[in-house]
Structure 1
């Protein structure tokens, strides 16, 4: 059963989340953060198969929207994620039968990056699962033009400007907003568009890269990444896991051989099914009462 709530609003924007109930009372909660390069996507992007995977295994699911770039910048987006966690902890139990002390954050791609950022918050989740996320947006893969996206038709700057809104955006359709991402990755301008920080300013960019801010109390983290990911390099998960190991943080990396970006869309693939079963086991261990 789905319930849509407003977890944050002011005169400029309203941000929603979809809450899916679990099959028992006082359930642990998965906060799901969608991907989309921080430029597009909505809380409804999570597939029906993934919703059932979590709820059928005893987890309540809270799929959130957040403000999108370039109309909003990364500090505001990170604030929205923090506010979503605060809402589910303080307001969630008043409306739903959940245990606010057992929260994990799961995200894919840009959502994986935002999930990893929650590990450096003062108020941390119990566990994190990153599907092909990234811990470093200061390195060349993010700040330089993408060789993969340069193989596609070049997006003219005029078209890019056409799809940038004068207002804050909290839900963005891929049909139009993907062109913003494509243009930014082709131009090597993506990081500056989402942060407002010039890509040459490594010192400031490092401040928004979780890989550089890991402490020994970072939550247990599970990474999943395909070796043929053309959007986010597989090495991003390898490097992030290595940084956690240095701090003695519990962590694992599930490698999907020849897996592409959003590999779980091939839901019935036995390799994918095995990986998703391991996700459930990881969450059950770290969200146990």
Structure 2
């Protein structure tokens, strides 16, 4: 699993890891961004289906970091993800991988906040507001239980500990390990301050990064996109349908957020969708 620094900002190196499939042929690239509300997480938290994708699905799997809020606000994060996509299309990455990658076929993916970043890269939403040129969109997007709008009630309504002390509250099968960043995430939910942490005083409204309104305005378009569940995702799917865009919505019931962390979920529907897209590209 080689690691590469794809960008540097104010002395902070921003890295990615890549995994190549066996053999010598050229392979498409699947770029994955981690979740964590843009406040925590790491490219090292690649679930088993991602680590298995090179050998099982013949993909070059790339997991990438980006600078975290609140030290970096949304425009800086947008700059990072754009730089990452540009690096994957560069001669430097072609050389790094020994010419093994098909740089014309890049699909961007991510879970939760990472799915939001994938949708932003795919649609171009938020780049102009951030003072950046939107990159050439990827071939496709896979957004797994993505955030799509931090102006939604989930992010603006305080959530308190009492809910988790209630034995009759909804069951769950997984919780992230404790860390200071996790405490920050919990505090963000408790106080409903995601916008303050991610947007802050950068002068850009949070709505500038909302996917569904951007698509509905016809100013932005998505490439072929696969989305797995989530109530906010329904707004994106409706907007995409209204704009005549190619979006597949896979609704799974009875599963938790971050369900694909469990090795039993191999995400076969997603990888089948990816290869159908690649075969017609």
The answer to whether TM tops 0.5 is: yes
Question: Are the equivalent residues in 2 in contact too, given 1:55–1:61 (CA < 8 A)?
Answer: no
Question: Are the equivalent residues in 1 in contact too, given 2:149–2:207 (CA < 8 A)?
Answer: yes
Q: Which stretch of the first structure deviates more once superposed, 247-256 or 27-36?
A: 247-256
Q: Do the aligned partners of residues 150 and 29 (structure 1) sit closer, same or farther apart at CA in structure 2, a change above 3 Å counting?
A: farther
Give SS of 2:70's match.
Answer: coil
Aligned length: 252
The residue aligned with 1:6 is: 5
In structure 2, stretches of 5+ residues that fail to align are 125-133, 166-176
Pairing 1:151–2:163 present: yes
Q: Distance in 1 between matches of 2:221 and 2:47?
A: 32
Pairing 1:102–2:99 present: no
- Specify which of 267, 270, 276 is matched with residue 279 of structure 1: 270
Q: Which runs of 4+ in 1 moved over 3 A?
A: none
Q: Distance in 2 between matches of 1:7 and 1:85?
A: 9
Give SS of 1:223's match.
Answer: strand
- Specify which of 256, 278, 281 is matched with residue 260 of structure 1: 256
The residue aligned with 1:26 is: 26
In structure 1, stretches of 5+ residues that fail to align are 154-172, 226-233
TM-score (norm 2): 0.83
Q: Distance in 2 between matches of 1:56 and 1:50?
A: 10
Q: Distance in 1 between matches of 2:67 and 2:162?
A: 27
Cα deviations by residue, 1:104-126 (Å, 9 ceiling, x for unpaired): 01100010111111122231111
TM-score (norm 1): 0.81
Q: Do the aligned partners of residues 256 and 54 (structure 1) sit closer, same or farther apart at CA in structure 2, a change above 3 Å counting?
A: farther
Q: Distance in 2 between matches of 1:150 and 1:178?
A: 18
Q: How far has the Cα of 1:130 moved from its partner?
A: 0.8
The residue aligned with 1:113 is: 116
The 5-angstrom pairing of residues 221-236 of structure 1 reads 221-225=225-229, 234-236=230-232
Q: Distance in 2 between matches of 1:248 and 1:184?
A: 36
The residue aligned with 2:36 is: 36
Q: Do the aligned partners of residues 76 and 150 (structure 1) sit closer, same or farther apart at CA in structure 2, a change above 3 Å counting?
A: farther
The 5-angstrom pairing of residues 50-199 of structure 1 reads 50-90=50-90, 91-96=92-97, 97-121=100-124, 122=134, 123-146=136-159, 151-152=163-164, 175-196=179-200
The 5-angstrom pairing of residues 211-222 of structure 1 reads 211-214=212-215, 215=218, 217-222=221-226
Give SS of 2:44's match.
Answer: helix
